[in-house]
Chain A
Amino acid sequence: MNPAERLFLSRYVSDPKRNLLRFSFLFMILGIVISVGILSAALNLFEGYERALRSVLLDSFAHIRVVSADVDPLSGAQASDVLNRLSKLPEVRSAVPVLSSSLLAQNGDKARSGMMQAYSWENGDENIFAKYVKKGSADLAPGKVILGHYLAQDLGLALGDTVTVSFPRLDLITPLGMYPNQRPLQVTGIYNSGFYEYDRSLLIGDLEDLRALTGVSSGFSSLELRLHNKFADSAPTLARKYNQILGREVYALPVINTSLLSLVRMQKWLIFIVFSFLVLIAGINVISGVLTLMLDKRAEIAVLKALGASSKSVRNILAWQVTLVCLISVILGQLFGLLISWGIANQNIYKLKGEVYFIDRLELYASPLNQVIIFVVASFLIWICIRAPLRRINRMRIIDLLRNP
Chain B
Amino acid sequence: MICLAGYSLYKTYQDKGQDIRVLIDTNLEVQRGEFVCITGKSGCGKSTLLHILGLLDDPDSGRVVVNSAELSSRHASAHKIRNRDIGFIFQFHYLLEDLSALENVALPMLIAGEAKSKAFQEAGSLLKRLNLEDRANHYPNQLSGGEQQRIALARALINSPSIVLADEPTGNLDPQHSAEVWELMFRLNRDLEQTFVIVTHDRELARQSPKTYELKGGTLI
Chain A contacts to B: CB under 8 angstroms: 2-4, 6-8, 11, 18-19, 299-300, 302-311, 313, 397-399, 402
Most buried by B among A2, A18, A303, A397: A303
Residues of A near B110 (CB, < 8 A) are 2-4, 6-7
Residues of B near A306 (CB, < 8 A) are 54, 56, 82, 88, 90, 94
Chain B contacts to A: CB under 8 angstroms: 51, 54, 56-57, 73, 79-84, 88, 90, 94, 96, 98-99, 103, 106-108, 110-116, 119, 155
Shortest CB-to-CB span from B162 to chain A, Å, is 14
Given A313-B111, A402-B56, A11:B79 Cβ within 8 A: no
* Beta-carbon nearest neighbor of B82 in chain A: A308
Residues of B near A8 (CB, < 8 A) are 98
CA–CA, A4 and B103, complex, Å: 10
Shortest CB-to-CB span from A341 to chain B, Å, is 38
Residue from A19, A308, A311 within 8 A of B80 (CB atoms): A308
Residues of B near A302 (CB, < 8 A) are 94
Residues of B near A300 (CB, < 8 A) are 96
CA–CA, A45 and B199, complex, Å: 68
The number of inter-chain residue pairs (CB within 8 angstroms) is: 77
Q: Is the CB of B88 within 8 A of A397?
A: no
20 extra interchain contacts, Cβ-Cβ under 8 A, other than A307-B155, A309-B111?
Answer: A2-B110, A2-B111, A2-B113, A3-B113, A3-B115, A7-B99, A7-B107, A8-B98, A11-B98, A299-B94, A303-B96, A306-B56, A307-B88, A307-B107, A308-B83, A308-B108, A309-B83, A313-B111, A397-B57, A399-B57
Q: Is the CB of B114 within 8 A of A397?
A: no
* Beta-carbon nearest neighbor of B158 in chain A: A307
* Beta-carbon nearest neighbor of B81 in chain A: A308
Shortest CB-to-CB span from B25 to chain A, Å, is 21
CA–CA, A305 and B83, complex, Å: 9
CA–CA, A341 and B117, complex, Å: 49
Q: Is the CB of A399 within 8 A of B56?
A: yes
Q: Is the CB of B79 within 8 A of A310?
A: yes
Q: Is the CB of B98 within 8 A of A18?
A: yes
Residues of B near A4 (CB, < 8 A) are 107, 110-111
Shortest CB-to-CB span from B10 to chain A, Å, is 16
Most buried by A among B98, B103, B116: B98
Q: Is the CB of A308 within 8 A of B103?
A: no
Sample of 14 A–B contacts (CB below 8 Å): A7-B103, A7-B116, A11-B98, A305-B82, A306-B54, A306-B94, A307-B83, A307-B155, A309-B79, A311-B79, A397-B57, A397-B73, A398-B56, A398-B73
Residues of B near A305 (CB, < 8 A) are 79, 82
Residues of B near A6 (CB, < 8 A) are 110, 116
* Beta-carbon nearest neighbor of A12 in chain B: B98
Q: Is the CB of A307 within 8 A of B111?
A: yes
Residues of A near B106 (CB, < 8 A) are 7
Residues of B near A19 (CB, < 8 A) are 98
Shortest CB-to-CB span from A399 to chain B, Å, is 4
Given A3-B119, A7-B116, A399-B56, A308:B98 Cβ within 8 A: no
CA–CA, A311 and B79, complex, Å: 9
Q: Is the CB of B99 within 8 A of A11?
A: yes
Residues of A near B84 (CB, < 8 A) are 308
